[in-house]
Structures are given as structure tokens and as C-alpha cells.
A and B are shown apart, each in its own frame.
Chain A
Amino acid sequence: DGGITQSPKYLFRKEGQNVTLSCEQNLNHDAMYWYRQDPGQGLRLIYYSQIVNDFQKGDIAEGYSVSREKKESFPLTVTSAQKNPTAFYLCASSPTSGTGPRGNQPQHFGDGTRLSIL
């Protein structure tokens, strides 16, 4: 089945450590996104990518980095500069980030990764 796979489901980070969250999609979507979810905060955009080898900062990019070397993959690295990384991280994809012939399409989401501090 086509979909988005996030791994791991749970992740623990030690002080000063960088950790990488994986996101893979087999939907042939051009656009991919990373969101952070905190209780009562909704989803906040960290980074998004509209095409391979290109990505843009979202609203809360500080302390995070991404890469988009392949269409299917959009890994997120939480660096040691992110002082409050404990949150639920969601990856999403959509056919494009524009309107296209069928308008702006909804996003497909993964199951998320819950990151905690050790």
C-alpha cells in the first residue's frame, strides 16, 4: 500500500546529541513537510521541500536541519541546538505545494515519532 513511513516510533535524545528522524513515502509526491506537535499548540511547520535538492524553513526551523536527496526521503535532524526537543513529530507529503489541475491537494501523514529527552 502507498503511504508514509516514519521511524522510529519512539526516540530518546541525550544531552548534546543530534538525532535523525526518518520519513519515507512511496506516493510519488513532490512536496514533503515536517511538523512539530506540542500539547495545545497544534501543528507547527519546521521545514518543507517542494522538490528534490530544495527545501525551505518553516515557522520554527531553528535547531533543526533537513535534506532532500531523493524524492522518497525527507529526514529531519534534531540538533543539540534545539533546547526543547521533546514533542511529537509528524511528516507529511502532498502531490505538490501548489494548486495543480485539481487544486491544492490534501496532505498525507505518517504515524509520527515521539521524541523525549533522557
Chain B
Amino acid sequence: AQKVTQAQTEISVVEKEDVTLDCVYETRDTTYYLFWYKQPPSGELVFLIRRNSFDEQNEISGRYSWNFQKSTSSFNFTITASQVVDSAVYFCALSDPSSGGSYIPTFGRGTSLIVHP
């Protein structure tokens, strides 16, 4: 079984603040993949990042950074100096071979980020 928990339902910040979105996962497999997606008001999910279970290096892409810690089963996402355009729902997802060997993603419930000007 796999499970993804995004405990923060909604976060509200003022522009230029830093914000961290939490993601905690559960899996029994040693090989798995973690993803973050952004869903703007238009509705389409946009892929942000993928991490496999053997690569614990943190990653930075512009104002975005991700902290993957296997010891705490967490894959948190930080936006530095947030902007109004960052307002969206963000989803964390996990795929592992629990679906009969297939990697079918399970999504968290999402965190709605509202950035005020």
C-alpha cells in the first residue's frame, strides 16, 4: 500500500515570503518515485520535479527547492520569495511497484497556496 499525506490544506502568505509545503509518504518498497505537480486555476497539472528513492540530493531550480529525507519519509517543497503567480494547488505524488509491479501514482490531497500582493 502507498500513501501520501499533505497535512496543509491551505497556506496564505504575502508576496516575497518564503513558504514550505510538506509531503510525507508511506511505502514498503525500496524503489519508488516522488513527484510534485502544480495545478493553476486553469486546471491542468504541471510537472515540477521527480525524485527516485536512491537519490537523496536536494534540488534547487530558481526559487524552488526540494528537500528529500528518507529518514523521515518526507519530500518537502520550498518556494523562496513567493510571487502572486505561485498561487495554485500543489500536489505531491508517490509511485511504487505496489500495483502488481506497475508504478501507478498516488496523490496527496493537495495544498492550496495563496500569495497575496
Residues of chain A at the chain B interface (Cβ within 8 Å): 33, 35, 40-45, 48, 50, 56, 58, 88, 90, 92, 97-99, 103-112
Complex Cα distance, B71 from A7, in Å, reads 43
Interface residues on chain B, size class: 20 to 34
The 4 tightest CB contacts between A and B, nearest first, are A42-B109, A109-B45, A43-B107, A112-B43
For B101, the chain A residues whose CB sits under 8 A away are 98
Residues of chain B at the chain A interface (Cβ within 8 Å): 6, 9, 31, 33, 35, 37, 42-47, 50, 52, 91, 95, 99, 101-110
For A88, the chain B residues whose CB sits under 8 A away are 43
A3 to chain B, nearest CB (A): 9
CB closest residue in chain B, given A106:
B47
Complex Cα distance, B91 from A43, in Å, reads 9
Given contacts A42-B109, A43-B107, A97-B99, 19 further A-B contacts (CB under 8 A): A42-B107, A42-B108, A43-B45, A45-B104, A45-B106, A56-B99, A98-B103, A103-B50, A104-B33, A104-B52, A104-B103, A106-B47, A106-B50, A108-B47, A109-B46, A110-B44, A111-B44, A112-B43, A112-B44
